């Protein structure tokens, strides 16, 4: 046990030193007690992409859930043409209910803004705060297909022509600016389910009822829908907004210390 504790202290010290050298502020111990975080990943990704942030938050004593949605990540074996947006919404809703989560900080990245927005229609009373990280902020009746990036649309059209249930992911360099992480990212990326983008989402505005709301934009990744979402949030006094000019789209991989600090403050 002493060896384990000593090893952990050494690892944390090394992490703090590396963060200081990179000019990243350390994540400080929180006085508000143990918090509950629920992370929702984006297209082609899975729960794995949050690993670095999860480790930081759990080292602080917080409870973190980072599931892979049906058809993605470690659940890629469930990829099929029958998947709908409702399926991935249910993934989030059911996890929150079966784990009896309360006072959740719900964090959605990129495409995750779609199922997370839908999930809030059912679990808004369990959620205290939300953080939309370079994420879609849909309105009722809209479909993901109308907003996906050009590279994703092209990949989807090619996959549909071949009769495939999912489209091939882009290179890691599209999502991340951390070259050292690219091999790891590409080993984890999985095809994105095609059919989920054709279902219109039904929303009644439960997202806006959440008291603490934060939108983070990483403009190194070009996406007009995210620019629009940032502008809308800036014009709404109930939202806090931040812009990270140096990270790639996968902020949780490129700058996990920074993101953990921001999420803790936003929760």
What would the pLDDT profile of 45-93 be if each residue is shown by its tens digit? 999 999 999 999 999 999 999 999 999 999 999 999 999 999 999 999 9
What would the pLDDT profile of 239-258 be if each residue is shown by its tens digit? 999 999 999 999 999 999 99
Q: Can you list the domains of the chain with their CATH numbers?
A: 34-266 (3.40.50.1820)
* Selected residue with higher pLDDT from 14 and 70: 70
pLDDT higher than 80, residue 31 = no
**Cα–Cα distance, 134 to 230 (Å, whole number):** 9
Q: Containing H/E element for 116?
A: helix 113-123
pLDDT higher than 60, residue 25 = no
Determine the pLDDT at residue 150: 86
Q: Which residue's structure tokens are 């990212």?
A: 185
**Cα–Cα distance, 177 to 170 (Å, whole number):** 14
Region for residue 39 given its phi and psi (left: phi exceeds 0; alpha: psi -120 to 50; beta: otherwise)? beta
Determine the pLDDT at residue 148: 86
Range of 2-16, 145-159, 225-239 with top mean pLDDT:
225-239
Give the three-state DSSP class for 23: coil
**Cα–Cα distance, 186 to 175 (Å, whole number):** 10
**Cα–Cα distance, 192 to 174 (Å, whole number):** 15
* Selected residue with higher pLDDT from 17 and 106: 106
- Please write down the long-range contacts of 10-15, taking CB distance under 8 Å and 24 or more positions apart: 12/59
Residue 233 contacts residue 213 (beta carbons within 8 Å):
yes
Residue 76 contacts residue 47 (beta carbons within 8 Å):
no
pLDDT higher than 50, residue 19 = no
What would the pLDDT profile of 148-176 be if each residue is shown by its tens digit? 888 888 999 999 999 999 999 999 999 99
């Amino acid at each position: 046990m002493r060896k384990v504790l000593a090893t952990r202290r050494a690892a944390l010290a090394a992490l703090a030193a590396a963060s200081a050298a990179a000019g990243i502020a350390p994540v400080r111990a929180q006085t508000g007690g143990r918090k509950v975080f629920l992370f929702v990943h984006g297209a082609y990704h899975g729960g794995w992409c949050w690993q670095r942030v999860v480790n930081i938050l759990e080292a602080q004593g917080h409870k973190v859930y980072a599931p892979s949605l049906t058809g993605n990540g470690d659940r890629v074996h469930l990829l099929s043409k029958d998947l709908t947006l409702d399926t991935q919404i249910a993934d989030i809703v059911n996890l929150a209910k079966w784990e009896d989560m309360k006072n959740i900080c719900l964090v959605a990245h990129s495409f995750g803004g779609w199922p997370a927005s839908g999930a809030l229609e059912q679990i808004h009373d369990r959620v205290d705060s939300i953080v939309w990280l370079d994420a879609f902020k849909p309105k009722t009746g809209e479909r993901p297909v109308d907003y996906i990036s050009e590279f994703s649309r092209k990949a989807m059209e090619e996959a549909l022509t071949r009769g495939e249930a999912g489209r091939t992911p882009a290179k890691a360099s599209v999502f991340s600016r951390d070259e050292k992480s690219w091999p790891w990212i590409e080993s984890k990326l999985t095809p994105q389910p095609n059919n989920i983008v054709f279902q219109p989402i039904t929303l009644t505005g439960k997202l806006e009822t959440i008291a603490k709301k934060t939108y983070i934009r990483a403009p190194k990744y070009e996406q007009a829908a995210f620019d629009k979402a940032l502008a809308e949030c800036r014009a709404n006094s109930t939202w806090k907004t931040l812009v990270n000019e140096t990270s790639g789209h996968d902020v949780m991989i490129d700058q996990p210390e920074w993101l953990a600090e921001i999420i803790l403050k936003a929760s």
